[in-house]
Chain A
Amino acid sequence: MAHARISMCLPPDINPTQAAIAYGCRALPKLNQELQSEDLLTRQKALMALCDLMHDPEHVYTAIDIGCLESLKALLKDSNDMVRIKTTEVLYIMTTHNVGREGFLEHDVILALSYLLNDPQSDCRKNLHLAFKHVAQLPSGAQGIVKSGLIPSLVWNLQREEEEIQVLLLDTLAACLMEDSTEALSSRVVPFLKQKLLSTNNDIRSKAARTLIAVSIPLEGKNQVWQHDVIPILVHLLKDSVEEVQANAAGALMYAMVTTQGKYAALDTEAIQPLMGLLDSSLSKARLNATKALTMLAEAPEGRKFLKPYVPIFRILEMTPEAVRRAAKIAIKVIEWKP
């Protein structure tokens, strides 16, 4: 029979791994203090509690305001694996919010995180790359990453990391290279991406193709892509089973074929047929990219000759809404141009 008497002992601790979260606005300052404590257990418990709290953007804002980032930066260099893993997880959760991303850029957390690129713990690295990926979604974040000179090490790590992390890295690189690809081009990103294009993992292929799109936007990138013979591989990927891969490959080809050398390289590897096949793919991205790629090819006289009989298909495409219609119109114009 339960007693109506209130027991003198404290209620049972539901989660002993988490620090007790203080009520209301005292929660974060107290956690911040605990983060700086000397005791390992306290720090770990505080980190776990922080992980839960950081899902709320208001808490993220408050945390950055009271300077949690400084203590977190200090904790990144801690010797205990668990602490590092949890710190990176907290930072990653913070980057999913825009406030967190801006705070990162202000407090130079990117540089502090970069020291952990070679951490032995794979979870740590995974969280780290997730954080980078989210930071790179912001244009100023991508610029921050580029400015802190991390691109060469990221490209280098692309070779050595495990597959999951490679996926994240490719995402980060794609976003950063949209901003500025000069550094990456000088650190031999194209050969690495070429290898990744042949990987068995669908995600990796599609993301590698997407990164190639970003790489081949500047002229230097296009030249390198042609030099390293990536175009035949891209044409081969156009017949890939995964639609995302096809769409991204078409996009990369679209950019690589702006130069004359690229055009003729693609024509040599019979790119027209697969591209025509892509025109009725279900992904609008694939259709758009394929149309544009065919437009590029039509600039060359051989391409124009080849595409002349396919003009009706483009007329059909003109019926579809918006961007594809514009692209189809331009394609028709280019095919039927006479010097």
Chain B
Amino acid sequence: MYDRRVVRGNTYALQTSVLPGQPDPIEIQRQQQAKRRALAKKRAQEQLRPRTPEPVEGRKHVDVQTEIYLEEIADRIIEVDMECQTDAFLDRPSTPLFIPAKTGKDVATQILEGELFDFDLEVKPMLEVLVGKTIEQSLLEVMEEEELANLRASQCAYEELRNVELAEVQRLEEQERRHREEKERRKQQQWEVVCQHTETAQKVAARAFAQRYLSDLLPSVFSSLRDSGYFYDPVERDIEIGFLPWLMHEVDKTMEYSMVGRTVLDMLIREVVEKRLAMYEQKENQPPTRKPEDELGGSGGVTEPPAGYEQSPAQPQGPLVDRDPLERRPDDGRYTENVVSQERKLLEEEEYEQARIRSTSGREVLQPREDLEP
């Protein structure tokens, strides 16, 4: 039961704040008291219900004393002075226990043994669940961490071993590689040495062989060269190269000259013969006699110039023809001079004869002259 005057607990810190949800206990009590008062009032009012009826019209209710002993009604109220005095210095007596008047119905109830729940029994499962869940959760977390730590530790150990093994493997690999490379290098060196060795031996052998071969070669080369004329006497060569071609050339020239001369001579002779033939024919017309030799010579000269060449100069140039094969010598200079001088002589003779013919016949013979002129 909440009474405002009774404060539970520590009074040094009075509870001033009020729970907002629930109504104030003071308020509750006040409300209850108000309700009770209202009820009492209502009941009182019920009792007052029967009243005197209202006065009839024209009449008035007056209070009249109807008792036996009449009482004087006066305005002045009888006053009597009374005094009272408490005893001096008496302790204030304790407040009498206030027991409000009993209202309402009395109802009693009695909770017997075993009707309500047994707290200890009932709280156990709840507690178990609560504690269990909490412990389970915490165990889980601790286990998680432990698991992680274990994992980590085993991983570290494994990693160590792995690292060491791996390093070992790599070291061995590296060692292997180095040894192998060293071996390769040495093998390479040896191989090179052997190669050089064989090469040198081969070179030496080749050189010896070449020397032997070539020693024979040199004389034979020289002899063959000499045979094929590569070694020449410079004077001889010079004569051969310089002198002989010129000589041949000169010989050619001389021969040509002689040929030309002969040809010219042939022509001259032919001309002369023809002219003489003509002359003789002329003369035959006058004197019917003619020398058959001239005819022969002339006809020979007309029909066969080469034959004429052979025969016609046979007479006037007998000694020349005879001389020709005899004098065909490499001594061209003298021969050509001879030929030239003879030609000149012939020419002069011819000219002389031509002049004679001209003078006799009176025919100008320009053609042979012109032919004669080179």
Contacts and interface: CB of A to CB of B under 8 A. Distances in A.
Interface in B153-210: 155-156, 159-161, 163-164, 166-168, 170-171, 173-175, 178
A217 B148 CA distance: 26
Contact of A258 (B156, B161, B171): B171
B351 interface: no
Nearest to A324: B164
A255 B160 CA distance: 13
Given A55-B137, A96-B144, A96-B148, A292 B174 contact: no
Given A96-B148, A137-B155, A254 B174 contact: no
Determine the main DSSP class of A at the interface with B. helix
A251 interface: yes
B170 A288 contact: no
Interface string A248-292: 000100110011100000000000000000000000110011001
Contacts of A258: 167, 170-171, 173-174
B167 A285 contact: no
Nearest to B25: A1
Contacts of A292: 164, 167-168, 171
B151 interface: yes
A330 interface: yes
B167 A296 contact: yes
A288 B160 contact: yes
Interface in B126-149: 137, 140-141, 144, 148
B167 A254 contact: yes
For B137, B144, B151, B178, the residue with the greatest tally of chain A CB atoms inside 10 Å of its CB is B144
For B144, B164, B178, the residue with the greatest tally of chain A CB atoms inside 10 Å of its CB is B164
A137 B155 CA distance: 9
Given A55-B137, A137-B151, 15 more contacts: A1-B2, A9-B21, A96-B148, A254-B163, A255-B163, A258-B170, A259-B174, A288-B160, A289-B163, A292-B167, A292-B168, A299-B174, A327-B164, A327-B168, A330-B168
Interface residues of B, number: 24
22 contacts: A55-B137, A96-B144, A137-B151, A213-B163, A217-B170, A254-B163, A254-B164, A255-B163, A255-B166, A258-B171, A259-B174, A260-B174, A285-B160, A288-B160, A289-B164, A292-B164, A292-B168, A296-B171, A299-B171, A299-B175, A323-B164, A327-B168
A295 interface: yes
Nearest to B166: A217
Interface string A225-268: 00000000000000000000000000100110011100000000
Nearest to B169: A258
A56 interface: yes
Determine the main DSSP class of B at the interface with A. helix
Contacts of A96: 144, 148
B164 to A, nearest CB: 5
A330 B170 CA distance: 14
Contact of B141 (A55, A178, A330): A55
B168 A56 contact: no
Interface string A61-105: 000000000000000000000000000000000001100000000
A96 B146 CA distance: 12
Chain A contact patch, size range? 20 to 34
Interface of B: 2, 21, 137, 140-141, 144, 148, 151, 155-156, 159-161, 163-164, 166-168, 170-171, 173-175, 178
Contacts of B156: 285
Nearest to A253: B167
A23 to B, nearest CB: 13
A296 B166 CA distance: 12
A255 B174 CA distance: 11
Given A96-B144, A96-B148, A217-B166, A295 B171 contact: yes
Interface in A118-174: 137
B163 A251 contact: yes
A296 to B, nearest CB: 6
B161 A323 contact: yes
Contacts of B178: 260, 299
A260 B178 CA distance: 9
A251 B140 CA distance: 36
Contact of A284 (B141, B144, B160, B168): B160
Contact of A55 (B144, B155, B167, B171): B144
B137 A288 contact: no
A296 B163 CA distance: 14
A164 to B, nearest CB: 18
A288 B159 CA distance: 12
Contacts of B163: 213, 251, 254-255, 289
Contacts of A284: 160
Contacts of A178: 159
A291 to B, nearest CB: 8
- What 4 A-B pairs have minimum CB-CB distances, sorted nearest first? A258-B170, A254-B167, A285-B160, A292-B167
